[in-house]
Amino acid sequence: MLKDRKITISSYVKIVLAIFWIFAIILPLFKMLSNMADVDVAKIVTSERFATALKQSLTVSTVATLVSVGIAGLLSWCVARTGIRFKGIFSVLFSIPMLIPSISHGMGLIILLGSNGILNKTFGWNINIYGFSGILLGSVMYSLPVAYLMLLDILKFEDSTPYEAAEVLGLSKIDKFFTITLPYLRKPLISVFFATFTMIITDYGVPLMIGGKYNTLPVMMYQDVIGMLDFGKGSVIGMVLLVPALIACLLDIMNRDKGNSAFVTKAFKVKKNIFRDVFAYIVCGLVAFLLILPIATFTRVAFVEKYPINMSFTFKNIEKAINMNLTDYLSNSVIIALVVSIVGVVLAILTAYYTARMKSKFSRVLHMLSITSLAIPGLVLGLSYVMFFKKSFIYGTFAMLILVNTMHFFSSPYLMMYNTFGKLNANLEYVGKTLGIRRLFILKDVLLPMSKETIIEMFSYFFVNSMMTISAVSFLATMDTKPVALMITQFEGQMQLECAALVSVIILMVNLVVKGIVFFTKRRMAR
């Protein structure tokens, strides 16, 4: 009877979690797609405006992805396969662009290379950054850190044994690359490519800021929904944007499943090579400089009188932004980010425990529901929430923004915990049952203490992304619940670039503080 009761309780919890996911992800998505029933889809997709936006989105996203993945591959090789020092510092510098909204990258490029850009005026250049070239540069800056971290993780766990065998057999470096490296990287590279492509094609921050007349699908969706309240056309565009995200999600799932088999890898021993290391220093230093330069530039502009007319230093922009409710909106963002982090971590732990430690057919269903948000861009999720929750009691409240952010960013932290729980001894619960120890105590006293670093990383992921996102919340925020990141588009629309830059700097500082706390906490735990 006790056994039946335990099974009933665990099944009940799984059912409750599954129902939650259906209401939080599946039904809103179906509501958005069903909204196309009253829309002339053929007329929209065959229109010249849509065709142009689709073509331009595919073109710039493909080129930016190739450039981003190419540079990321070179950087990850420099860090993983050379003898350079300060690898940790370089990785931090490469990752800083992840801590600000994508729209801030576009703003930094405008300040540098716009019609009144600092570099254009200083060197007498006449570079036109608006349009394709601006979106390309901004998208590379925005996506490069993610591509770099993914590729670095792949290279760090590559086994050196095949290379040692190839060296004994006398294979050249070119032969090693084509017979060992390329087959090893082929499938992970496909996942990295599609993940990066999805990030770029679904982003509207960079194109909105610097795209000019070069319209892309996300910007078109944003303009039609926010400007014209055309939810039908927004749903059609949202459906199109789901396609690359769905492909990226499926590839990621396939590769994760094949990468779960445990085996011992032998780390690479980096041989001394002065020319290789000098080349690596030059590449890492140059890329770090180019990534940080726009951020440093808009940090400078945040404290000028009036860009580009009067570049004298001032703190007046802080007062101006405060008068426009900066402190209220910053408080909103911090509160939302904290609650999302706490709720997201608890939900991820609970879900991962049932899917990773209590295997069943229903667990697999729950697992698939939990990773669904990987395939839903923020703009699409936000629009689906508008349609599904519009007449509900949570619409227009903080709960609405907390829910959408939790769902938007849930899958990656959940997979962190799922993989961590999956690596821990599968017999712990059986031993505990033999000793009369309940599952709850095994989770509390054994599994969670062994997963502390993962939990901290999960909290950091939720917080940082919730602080800087503008996509999922742009359709849902009200004047009372507005996050501070949305002030960037507000100030930019009012031609107050200095205040927009100030908001970007504040978001960066908050996220750097959180990342610093996480770093020192993990370091202390390691000791």
- Residue 522 pLDDT grade (very low, low, confident, very high; cuts 50, 70, 90): confident
Residue 295 one-letter amino acid:
I
Contact (CB, 8 A) for 470 and 488: yes
Does 1.10.3720.10 match the CATH number of domain 1-38+315-527? yes
Residue 267: its pLDDT value, please?
64
Query: To which residue do tokens 């007046």 refer?
Result: 316
Query: To which residue do tokens 């940790």 refer?
Result: 88
Cα–Cα distance measured from residue 200 to residue 194, given in angstroms and rounded to the nearest whole number: 10
Q: Which range among 164-173, 356-365, 384-393, 447-456 shows the weakest confidence by mean pLDDT? A: 164-173
pLDDT digits (tens, 9 = 90+) for 128-151: 889 999 999 999 999 999 899 888
Q: Which range among 51-55, 438-442, 479-483 shows the weakest confidence by mean pLDDT? A: 438-442
| Alpha helices per DSSP H over 361-478 | 361-370, 378-389, 398-409, 411-423, 428-434, 439-442, 448-450, 452-468
Contact (CB, 8 A) for 487 and 324: yes
Query: To which residue do tokens 């499926």 refer?
Result: 250
Q: What is the DSSP string of 270-316?
A: PPP-HHHHHHHHHHHHHHHHHHHHHHHHHHHHTTEEETTTEEEE-SH
Contact (CB, 8 A) for 378 and 202: yes
Read off the pLDDT of each residue in 149-170 and give the average, rounded to a whole number: 74
Q: Return mean pLDDT, the chain.
A: 86
Read off the pLDDT of each residue in 19-38 and give the average, rounded to a whole number: 87
50-153+186-301 matches 1-38+315-527 in CATH topology: yes
- Residue 375 pLDDT grade (very low, low, confident, very high; cuts 50, 70, 90): confident
Element (H, E) at 190: helix 182-201
Residue 525: its pLDDT value, please?
80
This prediction's pTM: 0.87
Cα–Cα distance measured from residue 384 to residue 29, given in angstroms and rounded to the nearest whole number: 5
- Residue 164 pLDDT grade (very low, low, confident, very high; cuts 50, 70, 90): low
- Residue 12 pLDDT grade (very low, low, confident, very high; cuts 50, 70, 90): confident
Cα–Cα distance measured from residue 400 to residue 299, given in angstroms and rounded to the nearest whole number: 32
DSSP 226: I
**How far, CA to CA in Å, does 512 sit from each of 192, 285, 287, 357, 395?**
26, 21, 20, 34, 31
Read off the pLDDT of each residue in 166-177 and give the average, rounded to a whole number: 70
Domains of the chain by residue range: 1-38+315-527, 50-153+186-301
Read off the pLDDT of each residue in 49-68 and give the average, rounded to a whole number: 94
Read off the pLDDT of each residue in 33-43 and give the average, rounded to a whole number: 81
Q: Contacts from 448-451 at CB under 8 Å and sequence distance 24+?
A: 448/349, 450/424, 451/417, 451/420, 451/421, 451/424
Read off the pLDDT of each residue in 205-219 and give the average, rounded to a whole number: 90
Residue 363: its pLDDT value, please?
83
The more confident residue out of 375 and 125 is 125
Whether residue 260 has pLDDT greater than 50: no
Whether residue 181 has pLDDT greater than 80: no
Residue 253: its pLDDT value, please?
66
Read off the pLDDT of each residue in 487-506 and give the average, rounded to a whole number: 90
Residue 321: its pLDDT value, please?
92
pLDDT digits (tens, 9 = 90+) for 100-115: 999 999 999 999 988 8
Helix axes 411-423, 361-370, angle to 10 degrees: 140
- Residue 265 pLDDT grade (very low, low, confident, very high; cuts 50, 70, 90): low
DSSP 86: -
Residue 441: its pLDDT value, please?
77
Whether residue 294 has pLDDT greater than 80: yes
pLDDT digits (tens, 9 = 90+) for 43-57: 888 889 899 999 999
- Residue 366 pLDDT grade (very low, low, confident, very high; cuts 50, 70, 90): confident
Q: Which range among 79-83, 436-440, 469-473 shows the weakest confidence by mean pLDDT? A: 436-440
Residue 266: its pLDDT value, please?
62
Residue 20: its pLDDT value, please?
92
Residue 257: its pLDDT value, please?
47
CATH class of the 50-153+186-301 domain in this structure: mainly alpha
Residue 1: its pLDDT value, please?
41
- Residue 339 pLDDT grade (very low, low, confident, very high; cuts 50, 70, 90): very high
Read off the pLDDT of each residue in 384-388 and give the average, rounded to a whole number: 92
